[in-house]
Amino acid sequence: MDFFLQMLVTGLVVGSVYALVALGFVLIYKSSDAINFAQGEFLLIGTYVCLTLITSYNIPFIAALLIALLFSAVLGFAIERIVLRPFIGEPVISMIMATIGLSSVLAGIVHIIWGHETRVFPQIFSDQPVRLGEIVIAPVYLWSLLIVIIMLLIFTLFFKYSKMGIAMRATADDQQAAMSMGISVKAIFAVAWAIAAIVSAVGGVLLGNINGVNASLSAIGLKVLPVAILGGLDSIPGAIIGGLIIGVIESMTGGYLDPLVGGGLKEVMPFVILVFILMFKPYGLFGKKEIERV
């Protein structure tokens, strides 16, 4: 039972980070109907910027994180304006292919600047484990969970009460109606990409503190895609719940099944669960079913 609870807590923490990164997928899909395959590179670049500020310029962690988030937001704005805005009005597959190409370009830039060696954050959180009964939890896991909860609450309030958040929701529901009400759809697209870059950077920094940072961290972007699809690509609550589900399943698989088969099943299981769920819920657990009249 103690091992089960340990795996459960680990899964919830990692799943909460997945949920935060999946929020970027959902925002971009809701605003433009496209899937951003460069999400993992956004995560990697934001993480490397934060790490470089800390290790090379001795900037405190909080200040370095804020600067990295500002850099990520500017990067998201710039990419949307320069690379993706020309694809507005084009078939969705064109924008998806553009994000695939963008992913390769950003990965190459990361390799040129930072290489492929694994780097670690200096000790930011206490290394004294926290005991909850027989469960031992590293403080970095607890801080990661707390930061993710705060971020998700901030974005929930932003989308529900802020003028920009309401405009983003209106644009997601009906772009033509939003434009008729004076909402700049192009500005909404830019903000969506900026927020996607920000949440990816936060997720990358948290995971980097847990596992270290190298080029393979960008694979989290692909791993988080089943989270977004499982919950529903147009559902923010679905991204949160999907992240927790995938995180727990991945943790349990790694703890119980991987030792029996020699490893590797942990990375595959999220996609197996995704295929199984989509057989019965093609739009995800909380996605809206689209009905077209002809």
Is the model's pLDDT at 216 over the cut of 80? yes
pLDDT, residue 213, reads 94
Three-class SS state of 122: coil
Where does the chain show beta strands of DSSP type E?
130-132, 135-137
Say whether pLDDT at 168 is over 80.
yes
Mean pLDDT taken over the chain: 88
Residue 276: pLDDT band by 50, 70, 90 thresholds? confident
CATH: 1.10.10, 3.90.550, 1.10.3470, 3.30.420. Which one for 2-280? 1.10.3470
Q: What is the pLDDT of residues 114-162, one digit of tens each?
A: 998 899 999 888 888 888 777 888 898 888 989 998 988 888 888 888 9
- Measured CA to CA, the distance from residue 71 to residue 14 in angstroms comes to 24
- The pTM of the full predicted model, rounded to 2 decimals, is 0.91
127 vs 64, higher pLDDT:
64
d(CA 96, CA 6): 39
Residues 174 and 171: their CA atoms lie apart, in Å, by: 5
pLDDT band at residue 267 under the 50/70/90 scheme: confident
Where do the domains of the chain lie? 2-280
Decide if pLDDT at 34 tops 90: no
Task: Give pLDDT tens digits for 231-248.
Answer: 888 788 889 899 999 999
Neighbour tally for 35: CB within 10 Å? 18
Mean pLDDT, to the nearest integer, of 170-197? 87
Residue 232, pLDDT score? 86
How high is the pLDDT of residue 294? 52
Alpha carbon distance 54, 48 (integer Å)? 10
